[in-house]
């Protein structure tokens, strides 16, 4: 039985699918406030913006910070379709995001449950609660299908 995804993760997948249609790696991110209201949505735009930092998480964090007029996203949660990389994990920590929910792990570039495990490092000032595997099968399929067309 397929699990029902929380609405913010559904929206993150919509962002990821839109990115794939634009030729970007299909990763989408959504940030919600303490009441569950969506305050920012983004998808990868590294190619479009010619910016290696334009990952979905980074763009969503920037948009949420602007929406809240604050560099701290203290009572906010991040939903993302792929395990964040080290750069994004650092931004999540700096923003003081409360919780992160991600779909698929990333053995090659992930930095939360894979690689450097950023939030477990003694130099990490803030570690959010982490929930993984939410929509993992769907995320893996989306990524696999995307890269199949590129090879």
Q: Where in the sequence numbering do the catalytic residues fall?
A: 57
DSSP state of 75: T
CA-based R_g, the chain, Å: 14
Note whether 85 and 113 are within 8 A (CB): no
Beta bridge partners of 104: 82
Among candidates 31, 9, 29, 10, which has minimal Cα distance to 19? 29
For residue 121, give every residue at least 6 positions away whose Cβ sits within 8 Å of its Cβ, in sequence order, or none.
none
Tell which residue, 96, 62, 67, 101, has the closest CA to residue 82: 101
The SS3 call for residue 39 is strand
């Amino acid at each position: 039985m397929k699990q029902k995804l929380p609405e913010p993760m559904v929206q993150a997948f919509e962002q990821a699918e839109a990115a794939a249609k634009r030729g970007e790696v299909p990763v989408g991110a959504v940030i919600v406030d303490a009441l569950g209201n969506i305050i920012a949505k983004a998808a990868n735009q590294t190619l479009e913006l010619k910016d290696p930092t334009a990952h979905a998480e980074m763009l969503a964090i920037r948009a949420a910070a602007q929406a809240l007029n604050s560099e701290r996203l203290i009572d906010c949660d991040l939903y993302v379709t792929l395990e964040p990389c080290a750069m994004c994990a650092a931004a999540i920590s700096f923003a003081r995001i409360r919780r992160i929910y991600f779909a698929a792990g990333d053995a090659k570039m992930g930095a939360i449950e894979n690689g450097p495990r950023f939030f477990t490092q003694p130099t990490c000032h803030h570690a959010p609660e982490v929930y993984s595997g939410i929509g993992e099968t769907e995320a893996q399929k989306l990524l696999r299908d995307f890269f199949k067309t590129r090879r």
